[in-house]
Amino acid sequence: MSEQQAAQKPSNWNLPNALTLLRIAMVPLYGYALLVDGGEDPWWRFTAWVIFALAMITDKIDGDLARARNLVTDFGKIADPIADKALTGMAFVGLSILGEVWWWVTVVVLLREWLITVLRLSVARTVVIAAAQSGKWKTTLQALALGGLTLPLLMWDGFWEVPGQVLHAGFLVALAGAVALTIWSGWEFFRDFAKHRRAQRAA
């Protein structure tokens, strides 16, 4: 690397990376708020939802900032997906502990997410395997479903009881869609990854 290239390389000490680290720090806070009193405290559940929503917002902001201001770094490329998987992983595990998401769903999703993250990072220096459209839909549905299921919807009484049940059912449908897209987008990634490996061998 030339001195000019080194000078142009952005520092790891920048706002997008700081937001990524903040998101990682929010993971145990979210987990604690979700699991207080066995998930039976509606105010703590709402607090957990706020933390989850803020973390999702920082995910959007840090990515946009990094690209707009040319602050994409190797550290960010590694830390950002780790932060994302840590947060959604905590949500899946926490909700499974509370008996609100089946454990097999959590195991399937987390195996797919972490395996693909490791494989993507393993080839990051030679090629960037772009996220497929199905993967982007999966991420959106996953965030919507996990955020919604974090809310104390089944604890609402009176007039709000039925709307709460309807919303909860809707978020379960969104989760089912996210799981289906998780499997499909995972197959698409492995297909593209295999093509890349074959191209490397041929070269």
Residue-range domain boundaries for the chain: 3-202
Read off the pLDDT of each residue in 163-187 and give the average, rounded to a whole number.
94
Read off the pLDDT of each residue in 165-184 and give the average, rounded to a whole number.
95
Q: What is the pLDDT of residues 78-107, one digit of tens each?
A: 888 889 889 999 999 999 999 999 999 999
pTM summary value: 0.87
Exposure class string for 89-107: b at 16+ Cβ within 10 A, else e: bbbbbbbbbbebbeeebbe
Q: What is the pLDDT of residues 116-154, one digit of tens each?
A: 888 877 765 666 565 667 778 888 999 999 999 999 999
Cβ atoms of 166 and 195 within 8 Å: the answer is: no
Q: Name the CATH superfamily, with its identifier, for domain 3-202.
A: CDP-alcohol phosphotransferase transmembrane (TM) domain (1.20.120.1760)
Q: How far apart are CA 35 and CA 41, in angstroms?
A: 9
pLDDT of residue 50: 97
